[in-house]
């Protein structure tokens, strides 16, 4: 499991899980799950398109994920954001389907894009992945406090002088980059599960923002590591484990939260 | 700076989407004054507050603080919006939320200084919310939330605090507590308060000044100067009576005889 | 005419079935979609499609009727979302996300096992993306009665549903049982998107559920008019998409047609863009004419 050809899987998995843990924390805070679901699908269309014209898949992933994110950001100002997101999503999926129909991509490659592949990041891609992850981390570090403030209440943030629409777009860009990195490993359909499950669990476990963020990263790492190991041993697709473990983490946290509340209610009564 | 007003609103016109909301608004507020922004729902109170805050542009006129034209995110103005809905599961404690009032707009990471943490505790004490410090902000009741929002706005030490209908969703008891709290803020911290309300009676004992909004215009001054039949009739553009009943004020449209007979017939209606 | 309808278009029974099923699904999606958009539940509407797809994949693995898989999966998903907390606006986002995430995980497993079982290529994509040309005519009776059930149930609860969609506070004071109405709506939504996912695929299910209603609502604030508008727009998009997909087979020398979903989505998005532009212009005109009269504070529904 820790043989040399798996080294890339562990490195890329760790980088991706850490990044997704932080990005997911804000996705859950801002209730932007739908965008977090739509953007990886944009990345999928990009990878399919990149194969068609023969450019680097990572390039296609990044460009299309950014396109989807900025499209959602732009049209959300004019129309309801859930409608804008739904339309961006179907447009990206339809483009992806059209690219696949015209290319000679063979099925396992498509399935890997959709459902993940632990060896999805090749050794030549490790460096670009690390650089992009670093850019995201830097962006999140700089935006941390206004992002937190505007996630709690955009009205209060505006009153405090935060440029909320700029923060919205900046966050969508970070979400797009982190999705583009995660899709080759976790899969276009399952990147979303990792983005929601562990952070949603983390915020039930603690009421402090910094701790919830740290907790989200730890749970996300545990989920992805466990998924890589399980996929390695069982030969089943990693996406299945990411999806199931993410949901499991949330359900356990939820059960813990419910029993804690009951106990508190008892004490008060 | 001696002699300049804290807030001065001059010849202000505001329109939204081509529709004139407020026309020719003039008033001023002094340091440490309690001002009520009174008007019915939809009169344009929120719009006026947003213009003063700098998040809504005016079509004409000038808003100045200390004689300087106001820019967005002026730290000398604090704001408490009408209603904020916090998610119950939000992993943010009251303490964290008030601290964000201090540094929520700043970029980058930094450890909060001991001084700032003490300031947060001090503010929570000032609004009598110290016991709530470690609760999640999503778990507060309406009155508790209002206190915490006031602490969040006050922690930056503004000179002017704007509040949009802070009493709207509170029961009479909590509303009275908030009014007393704001009054003590005015008296002890020398912060001027401008709060909007559609009912002026609860504010009568503490109000230094009234800004009355109706029919797209305003009238301002002390309560006795503004809440008078002739002034309000001019503002509304038709005859309005001001009745004083049991120390309360009632503004009634229509002829005075009719209104007075209504009061005589239904005293209970007036008293609430 | 031959430039539009390539030879054999109407003689082809696959095409005929596609046109009829397309019409049916467009109308059901448009009707339930208007409520979905007004209630701000686009995400749930889309998520239920993916949950239904997981059910469909499970069904094809267990060799039971795909219809049971799609619809059963969707209804189970709706129940799970309700249990986690769809009532609160933001909590709804998380509930939908968690259920969707778990269902996609199952999808991944089922589809992987399906590809192991069957040697035919493209089965994953057919289940995931669907194609109206691969639907057998025998689906038609089932699709008909399911549509009738959904539309009938929607008609029965339309008044409390409208009221709770506009303002849940208002509806509660009028004695509407919000939770019950919300759950019933989610179940209907699950059946409707399950049906359209099996007939036209999950991409188009969401496209037809959200696109035409959102376009129609740019023009009309009345539920009834919006439903009719949306049905017309949805049918137009579906038929135009089918025609273009059929034609695209003849466009290139290699005879590799583009998928129906691509064309239908293109038409749906174009409709939305056009109606947004027109609605914007109309709003400006209305605003100008209102300048002298005080307009109401808020424009209400109906």
The 3-class secondary structure across C94-163, one letter per residue, is: HHHHHHHHHHHHHHHHHHHHHHHHCCCCCHHHHHHHCCHHHCCCCHHHHHHHHHHHHHHHHHHCHHHHHH
| Boundary (domain end) residue, out of B227, B245, B262 | B227
Q: Tell me: do B158 and B213 sit in the same domain.
A: yes
Q: Calculate how close chain A gets to C77, using CA atoms only, in Å.
A: 13
Q: Tell me: do B169 and B269 sit in the same domain.
A: no
Domain count, chain B: 2
Q: Tell me: do B172 and B108 sit in the same domain.
A: yes
Specify burial of residue A58 (Cβ count, 10 A radius: 0-12, 13-18, 19+): buried
Handedness of CA B153, B158, B164, B166 (dihedral sign): positive
Task: Enter the tokens of residue C83.
Answer: 């249990």
Nearest residue of C to residue B215, measured between CA atoms: C294
**Contact criterion met (CB below 8 Å) for C197 and C205:** yes
Nearest to B237 by CA among B224, B249, B219, B262: B219
Residues C26-52 have a mean pLDDT of 91
CB within 8 Å: A193 and C265:
no
Residue B115 lies in a domain: yes
Domain that holds residue A175: 4-268
pLDDT in tens, chain A (269 residues): 667 778 888 888 999 999 999 999 999 998 888 899 999 988 888 988 888 888 888 888 999 999 999 999 888 877 788 898 999 998 998 888 888 877 766 667 777 788 887 777 777 778 888 999 999 999 999 999 999 999 998 889 988 888 888 999 999 999 999 999 988 888 888 899 999 999 999 999 999 999 999 999 999 999 999 999 998 898 888 888 998 999 899 999 989 988 888 888 777 66
Residues B170-191 have a mean pLDDT of 86
Give buried/exposed letters for B105-137 (b at 16+ CB in 10 A, else e): bbeeeeeeeeeeeebbeebbebbebeebbebbb
Domain that holds residue B149: 7-227
Residue B235 lies in a domain: yes
Q: Tell me: do B255 and B162 sit in the same domain.
A: no
Task: Enter the tokens of residue A62.
Answer: 């990044």
User: Roughly what angle, to the nearest 10 degrees, separates helices A107-115 and A33-53?
Assistant: 150
Chains that touch C (3 or more CB pairs under 8 A): A, B
**Contact criterion met (CB below 8 Å) for A79 and C277:** no
CATH code of the domain in which A262 resides: 1.10.3470.10
Q: Calculate how close chain B gets to A50, using CA atoms only, in Å.
A: 36
Specify burial of residue B71 (Cβ count, 10 A radius: 0-12, 13-18, 19+): exposed
CB within 8 Å: A153 and B134:
no
Residue B56 lies in a domain: yes
CB atoms within 10 A of CB C153: 16
**Contact criterion met (CB below 8 Å) for B84 and A162:** no
Residue B1 lies in a domain: no
For C227, the enclosing helix (H) or strand (E) is: helix C223-251
Write the residue in B18, B88, B89 that is nearest to C287 by C-beta.
B18
Asked if B91 is an interface residue toward chain C (Cβ–Cβ < 8 A), one would say: no
Give the pLDDT band (50/70/90) at residue C291: very low
CB atoms within 10 A of CB B73: 16
Q: Tell me: do B258 and B218 sit in the same domain.
A: no
Which range has the worst mean pLDDT, B1-10, C14-23, C109-118, C278-287?
C278-287
Which range has the worst mean pLDDT, A104-108, B92-96, B146-150, B255-259?
B255-259
Residues B1-28 have a mean pLDDT of 79
Which residues of C lie closer than 8 Å to B, measured between beta carbons?
Answer: 88, 90-91, 94, 284, 287-288, 290-291, 294-295, 297
Residue B64 lies in a domain: yes
Q: Calculate how close chain B gets to A226, using CA atoms only, in Å.
A: 26
Say which residues have a Cβ less than 8 Å from residue C2's Cβ, sequence separation at least 6. none
Distance CA B167, CA B11 (A): 29
The yes/no answer on whether domain C13-290 falls in CATH 1.20.120.1200 is: no
Which chain B residues are closer than 8 Å to A158 by Cβ?
55
pLDDT value for C10: 63
Q: Which sequence spans correspond to the domains of chain C?
A: 13-290
Domain count, chain A: 1
**Contact criterion met (CB below 8 Å) for B239 and B254:** yes
Residue B215 lies in a domain: yes
Which range has the worst mean pLDDT, B38-52, B221-235, C43-57, C91-105?
B221-235
Say which residues have a Cβ less than 8 Å from residue A152's Cβ, sequence separation at least 6. A29, B86, B90, B92, B97, B100, B137
Distance CA A202, CA A20 (A): 13
In which region does residue A256 sit, left (phi positive, over 0), alpha (psi from -120 to 50) or beta (all else)? alpha
Any idea which residue has 């992933």 for tokens? A61
**Contact criterion met (CB below 8 Å) for A24 and A198:** yes
Q: Tell me: do B24 and B110 sit in the same domain.
A: yes
Give buried/exposed letters for A136-146 (b at 16+ CB in 10 A, else e): bbebbeebbbb
Any idea which residue has 């301002």 for tokens? B220
How long is chain A?
269
């Amino acid at each position: 499991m820790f043989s040399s050809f798996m080294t890339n899987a562990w490195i890329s998995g760790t980088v991706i899980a850490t990044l997704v843990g932080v990005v997911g924390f804000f996705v859950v805070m801002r209730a932007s799950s739908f965008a977090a679901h739509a953007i990886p699908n944009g990345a999928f269309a990009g990878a399919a398109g990149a194969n068609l014209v023969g450019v680097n898949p990572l390039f296609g992933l990044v460009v299309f994920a950014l396109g989807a994110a900025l499209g959602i950001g732009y049209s959300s100002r004019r129309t309801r954001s859930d409608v804008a997101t739904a339309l961006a999503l179907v447009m990206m999926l339809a483009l992806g389907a059209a690219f696949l129909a015209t290319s000679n991509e063979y099925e396992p490659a498509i399935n890997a894009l959709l459902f993940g592949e632990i060896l999805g990041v090749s050794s030549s891609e490790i460096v670009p992945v690390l650089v992009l992850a670093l850019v995201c981390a830097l962006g999140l570090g700089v935006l941390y406090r206004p992002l937190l403030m505007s996630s709690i209440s955009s009205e209060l943030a505006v009153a405090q002088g935060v440029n909320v629409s700029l923060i919205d777009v900046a966050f969508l860009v970070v979400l797009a980059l982190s999705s583009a990195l995660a899709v080759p490993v976790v899969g276009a359909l399952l990147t979303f599960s990792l983005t929601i499950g562990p952070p949603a669990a983390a915020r039930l476990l603690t009421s402090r923002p910094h701790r919830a963020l740290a907790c989200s990263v730890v749970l996300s790492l545990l989920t992805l590591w466990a998924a890589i190991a399980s996929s390695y041993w069982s030969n089943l697709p990693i996406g299945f484990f990411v999806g199931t473990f993410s949901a499991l983490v949330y359900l356990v946290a939820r059960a813990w939260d419910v029993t804690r509340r009951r106990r508190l209610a008892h004490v008060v009564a | 700076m001696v002699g300049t007003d804290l807030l001065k609103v001059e010849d202000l016109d505001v329109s939204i989407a081509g529709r004139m909301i407020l026309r020719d608004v003039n008033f001023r507020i002094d340091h440490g004054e309690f001002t009520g922004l009174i008007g019915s729902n939809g009169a344009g109170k929120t719009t006026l507050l947003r213009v003063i805050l700098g998040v809504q542009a005016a079509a004409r006129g000038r808003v100045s603080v200390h004689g300087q034209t106001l820019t967005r995110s002026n730290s000398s103005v604090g704001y408490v919006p009408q209603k904020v809905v916090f998610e119950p599961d939000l992993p943010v404690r009251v303490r964290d939320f008030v601290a964000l009032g201090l540094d929520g707009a700043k970029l980058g990471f930094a450890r909060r200084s001991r001084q700032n943490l003490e300031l947060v505790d001090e503010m929570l004490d000032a609004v009598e919310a110290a016991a709530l410090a470690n609760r999640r902000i999503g778990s507060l009741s309406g009155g508790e939330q209002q206190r915490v929002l006031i602490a969040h706005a006050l922690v930056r030490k503004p000179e002017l605090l704007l509040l949009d209908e802070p009493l709207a969703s509170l029961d009479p008891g909590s509303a009275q507590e908030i009014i007393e709290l704001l009054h003590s803020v005015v008296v002890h911290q020398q912060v001027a308060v401008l709060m909007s309300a559609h009912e002026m009676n609860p504010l009568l004992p503490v109000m230094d000044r009234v800004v009355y909004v109706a029919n797209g215009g305003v009238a301002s001054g002390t309560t006795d100067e503004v809440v008078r039949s002739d002034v309000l009739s001019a503002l509304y553009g038709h005859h309005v009576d001001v009745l004083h009943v049991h120390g309360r004020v009632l503004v009634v449209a229509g002829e005075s005889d009719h209104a007075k007979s209504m009061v005589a017939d239904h005293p209970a209606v007036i008293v609430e | 005419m031959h430039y539009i309808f390539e030879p054999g278009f109407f003689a082809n029974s696959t095409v005929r079935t596609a046109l009829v099923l397309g019409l049916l699904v467009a109308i059901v999606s448009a009707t339930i979609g208007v409520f979905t958009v007004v209630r701000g539940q686009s995400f749930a509407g889309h998520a239920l499609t993916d949950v239904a797809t997981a059910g469909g994949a499970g069904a094809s693995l267990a060799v039971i009727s795909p219809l049971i898989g799609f619809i059963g999966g969707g209804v189970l998903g709706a129940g799970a979302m309700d249990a986690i907390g769809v009532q609160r606006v933001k909590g709804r986002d998380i509930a939908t996300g968690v259920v969707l995430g778990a269902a996609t995980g199952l999808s991944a497993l089922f589809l992987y096992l399906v590809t192991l079982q069957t040697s035919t290529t493209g089965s994953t994509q057919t289940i995931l993306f669907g194609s109206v040309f691969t639907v057998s005519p025998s689906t038609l009776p089932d699709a008909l009665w399911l549509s009738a059930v959904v539309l009938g149930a929607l008609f029965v609860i339309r008044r409390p549903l409208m009221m709770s969609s506009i303002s849940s506070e208002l509806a509660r004071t009028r004695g509407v049982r919000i939770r019950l109405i919300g759950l019933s709506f989610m179940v209907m939504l699950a059946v409707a998107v399950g049906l359209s996912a099996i007939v036209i695929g999950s991409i188009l299910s969401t496209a037809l559920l959200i696109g035409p209603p959102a376009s129609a609502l740019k023009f009309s604030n009345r539920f009834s008019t919006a439903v009719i508008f949306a049905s017309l727009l949805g049918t137009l998009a579906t038929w135009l998409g089918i025609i273009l997909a059929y034609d695209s087979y003849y466009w290139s020398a290699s005879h590799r047609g583009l998928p129906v979903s691509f064309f239908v989505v293109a038409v749906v998005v174009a409709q939305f863009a056009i109606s947004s532009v027109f609605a914007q212009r109309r709003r400006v005109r209305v605003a100008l004419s209102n300048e002298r009269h005080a307009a109401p504070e808020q424009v209400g529904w109906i």
